Amino acid sequence: MNLPVRKCYHAAKLAFFLILVVTILTLFEHWRGGKRSAGAQSYDPDDEYEKEILEDEARIIPGLGEGGLAAHLVGEAKRLGEESEKKLAINVYLSDRIAYNRTLKDYRNPACKRVVYDAELPSASVILIFHNEPYSVVIRTIWSVLNSVRRDQPWYSRANYVDRETGQTMKLGYPGQDPKSPYVYLKEIILVDDNSTLPELKGKLRHYVRTRLPPDLIRILRLPDRVGLTRARLAGARYAAGDVLVFLDSHCETQTDWLRPLLQRIKVSPHAVVVPIIDVIEASNFYYSVQDPVTFQVGGFTFMGHFTWIDVPEREKKRRGSDIAPTWSPTMAGGLFAINRAYYWELGAYDEQMAGWGGENLEMSFRIWQCGGTLETIPCSRVGHVFRSFHPYGLPAHTDTHGINTARMAEVWMDDYAELFYLHRPDLRKNPKIGDVTHRRILREKLKCKSFQWYLENIYKEKFVPVRDVFGFGRFRNAASGLCLDTLQREGEAVALGVYTCHSRLEPTQHFALSLRGELRDEEKCAEVQYKRHAGEIGEDVSRRVLMVTCHGKQRGQKWRYLPSKQLQHADSGLCLAAGAGEDVRAQRCAGGGAQRWDIDYSELN
């Protein structure tokens, strides 16, 4: 009977052992579980970001702003939106509620759909720079770039797979690109954070990129100091590895197939710097607005150093041959362009001593043309940009970076024409604040660049040069009242011309000219006598308004004569410019007297 007892003993031992093991395992599990829940209590920032991002995503209203239509909120939400726009120049409250990857209607010239691009194109590094930009707007910009280069986009399937010269079948993408990569032609997106202070642009943005975007395609470059947009772009360019640098502001949305036309043009013409057509995304409702898919404008400038939009000159329409052909542009706005990376460095990249905002766009434009490149708008590439009415971010305290940067540009590229800038900004003439530009002048020498005069005569023939194309210019002082012609800073098409106390020096609002064509004008607008139908005969008491309107260059209605009596006579109506009691000038029947006599500062006719 020993045996069963022994058996029993062994069984008990085994059972005890098993219980022990199970207990230990259970305890261990328990301990691990406890540790896990303790971990959730201890702070992990990524969990916090994840939570915030999920909340953000839950706020999005499906369908809002879809297709690029205007988005509207009502009631309290509408009010909060307007409030955010007052503060940030963009309706950020609304932006937070529009899908990050909303679609846009295709606004391109229909002819663009028939263009055939090479299957193999240069690779692109897209560089987005930002300082305290609204988080959701930045994310939407990134999504828009990514979605537009997805291999499964219908326009890529229609790509030319057969090389036209060799007859070889080509793989869609850039040389060496993995054909299985879901993104075509895109080497990388480089986000350059110009030392933002908004917390959501730090960890949360990083977490978003890691969890929702292809992290291996997106780099975030954090600048340790706020350096301004020129140097932020330089930092991005230094880092970039793609064949082509594509710069965008971080509040953009791209249109259907916007990238290939830029890459194709640079492939064919490596010294072409190319810009898309820039459409307006309304800051208040995110409406993607397009004037007309066929006509678009190119870049001009004012001697104040500002970028302007101008109509494509008739001679250029002839030269380019087709509405969708590359169109020469005298300048570019600066924020959205593509350039061959090697050429960017060869051409002198940027003036790295430009701080803050402004000036770099005209500097680069003049440099491109004067040093042998071309600056072109590519009509089949369209990108929307949120235009803001003010800069929501602060700029380096009390420094007028636009003025200083423009002076640096003028010193290097404008030769004697720099005087026309200094006419507006005498305070910057020989001002030590501008800093040293020697190395940029050496660059100009080295690249054997042409003169500014060459640029004006060959690239921007239409530009009105207020000291060259004139009989007289400066202040126009009225003999009776002693007041000077003044735009009174009235803006808009067709605004009344006025008079104001003469400034001691030539101020832009009082800088008028009598052009060789006989226009009475400032840099952009020409004086016309308001024409009334059925006004009857010109009687003694006739008095008409004088309006400043865009110069058409055709003389009709915009021609004036400066008489030996110092009267300014309007050719079509025969009326003379007169200053009266009010602040607006009038066109009246010519008569003697000081009210119709005008002294011009600098005139060949005085």
Q: Which of Mn ion, ligand LR7, none lies near 375, with the C-beta cut-off 5 to 8 A by kind?
A: none
Give min distance, CB of 545 to ligand LR7, in A.
Answer: 31
Which of these, 352, 142, 365, 338, lies nearest to 243 by C-alpha position?
Answer: 338
130 binds ligand LR7 (CB under 6 A): yes
Q: Least distance (Å) from ligand LR7 to the CB of residue 460?
A: 17
Nearer to ligand LR7, 393 or 598 (CB): 393
**Cβ pair 383, 278 in contact under 8 A:** yes
Provide the token pair at 9. 């003993």
Q: Distance (Å, rounded) from C-alpha 65 to C-alpha 281?
A: 11
Q: Which is closer to ligand LR7, CB of 227 or CB of 506?
A: 227
Pairing mode, strands 512-515 and 520-521: antiparallel
Considering the complex, state which of residue 292 and residue 537 has its C-beta at the smaller distance from ligand LR7: 292
Tell whether residue 358 is a contact of ligand LR7 (CB under 6 A).
Answer: yes
Q: Write out 297-363 in H/E/C secondary structure.
A: EEEEECCCCCEEEEECCHHHHHHHCCCCCCEECCECCCCCEEEEHHHHHHCCCCCCCCCCCCCHHHH
| CB 334, min distance to ligand LR7, A | 3
For 571, the token pair is: 């050719």
Integer distance in angstroms from the first to the last C-alpha of the chain? Answer: 142
Helix (H, G, I), strand (E, B) or coil at 13: helix
Identify whether the C-beta of residue 327 lies closer than 8 Å to the C-beta of residue 339: no
Task: Pick the binder of ligand LR7 from 334, 373, 384, 466 (CB under 6 A).
Answer: 334
Residue 194 lies near Mn ion (rule: CB under 5 A): no
For Mn ion, the binding residue among 249, 363, 376, 523 (CB under 5 A) is 249
Q: Which does 356 bind (CB under 5 to 8 A by kind): Mn ion, ligand LR7, none?
A: ligand LR7
Rounded Cα distance between 213 and 215, Å, is: 6
Smallest distance, ligand LR7 to C-beta of residue 351, A: 12
Binder of ligand LR7 out of 391, 441, 461, 532 (CB under 6 A): 391
Name the residue among 124, 142, 145 with its Cα closest to residue 133: 142
Q: Which stretch binds Mn ion (CB under 5 A): 80-88, 169-177, 243-251, 536-544?
A: 243-251
Instruction: Say whether residue 367 binds ligand LR7 (CB under 6 A).
Output: no
The option from ligand LR7, Mn ion, none interacting with 133 (CB < 5 to 8 A, set by class) reads ligand LR7
Instruction: List Cα–Cα distances, 414 to 131, 365, 454, 489, 604, in angstroms.
Output: 31, 12, 10, 27, 25
The 3-state secondary structure of 222-260 reads ECCCCCCHHHHHHHHHHHCCCCEEEEEECCEEECCCCHH
- Of 209-217, 228-236, 249-257, 347-355, the segment contacting Mn ion by CB under 5 A is 249-257
User: Which conformational region is residue 321 in: left (phi greater than 0), alpha (psi within -120 to 50 degrees), or beta?
Assistant: left
E strand map for 167-229:
186-193, 218-222
Q: Which residue in 165, 158, 203, 195 sits closest to 45, CA to CA?
A: 203
Query: CB-wise, 276 or 373, nearer to ligand LR7?
Result: 276
Q: Which stretch binds ligand LR7 (CB under 6 A): 143-151, 210-218, 354-362, 505-513?
A: 354-362
List beta partners, residue 563.
none
Q: Does 357 bind ligand LR7 (CB under 6 A)?
A: yes
Q: Is 361 in the site for ligand LR7 (CB under 6 A)?
A: yes
Cα 123 from Cα 559, distance rounded (Å): 53
Q: Between 256 and 406, name the residue whose CB sits nearer to ligand LR7.
A: 406
Residue 200 or 249: which CB sits closer to Mn ion?
A: 249
232 binds, among ligand LR7, Mn ion, none (CB under 5 to 8 A by kind): ligand LR7
**385 touching ligand LR7, by CB under 6 A:** yes
How many residues bind Mn ion (CB under 5 A)? The answer is 1
The count of chain residues that interact with ligand LR7, using the rule CB under 6 A, is 25
Stretch of 5-13, 72-80, 245-253, 356-364 contacting Mn ion, by CB under 5 A: 245-253
Q: Pick between residue 229 and residue 575 the one whose CB is nearest to ligand LR7.
A: 229
Q: Which residue is nearest to Mn ion (CB)?
A: 249
How many CA atoms lie within 13 Å of 9's alpha carbon, on the beta-carbon side? 6
Stretches 169-177, 350-358, 413-421, 436-444: which one binds ligand LR7 (CB under 6 A)?
350-358
| Three-state DSSP state, 44 | coil
189 near ligand LR7, rule: CB under 6 A: no
Please state the closest distance from residue 331 (CB atom) to Mn ion, in A: 16
Instruction: Select the span of 227-235, 432-440, 482-490, 541-549 touching ligand LR7 (CB under 6 A).
Output: 227-235
Interacting positions 265-294 with ligand LR7 (CB under 6 A): 278
Residues with Cβ within 8 Å of 214's Cβ and at least 6 positions away in sequence, in order, are 146, 182, 183
Sign of the alpha-carbon dihedral angle for 360, 365, 371, 374? positive
Residue pair 236/220 in contact by the 8 Å Cβ criterion: no
Question: 231-270: which residues touch ligand LR7 (CB under 6 A)?
Answer: 232, 249-250
User: CB 33 → Mn ion: shortest distance, Å?
Assistant: 52
Contacts of 520 (CB under 8 A, 6+ apart): 512, 513, 514, 526, 527, 558, 560, 568, 577
Does 351 interact with Mn ion (rule: CB under 5 A)? no
Site for ligand LR7 in 314-333 (CB under 6 A): 333
Nearest to ligand LR7 of 385, 517 (CB atom):
385
Contact flag: residue 191 with ligand LR7 (CB under 6 A): no
> What letter represents residue 94's amino acid?
L
Secondary structure element (H or E) that encloses residue 526, with its range: strand 525-529
Verify binding: residue 56, Mn ion, rule CB under 5 A. no
Sequence-distant (6+) residues with CB within 8 A of 139 are 100, 205, 208
Judged by CB under 6 A, the chain residues 298 through 317 that form the site for ligand LR7 are: 307
Q: How far is the CB of 553 from Mn ion (least distance, A)?
A: 31
Q: Find the shortest distance in angstroms from Cβ 172 to ligand LR7.
A: 30
Q: Is residue 229 near ligand LR7 by the rule CB under 6 A?
A: yes
Strands (E), 134-217: 186-193
Q: Is 363 in the site for ligand LR7 (CB under 6 A)?
A: no
Q: Which residues lie near ligand LR7 (CB under 6 A)?
A: 129-131, 133, 194, 226, 228-229, 232, 249-250, 278, 307, 333-336, 356-358, 360-361, 385, 391, 393
Instruction: Give the residues lining the site for Mn ion (CB under 5 A).
Output: 249
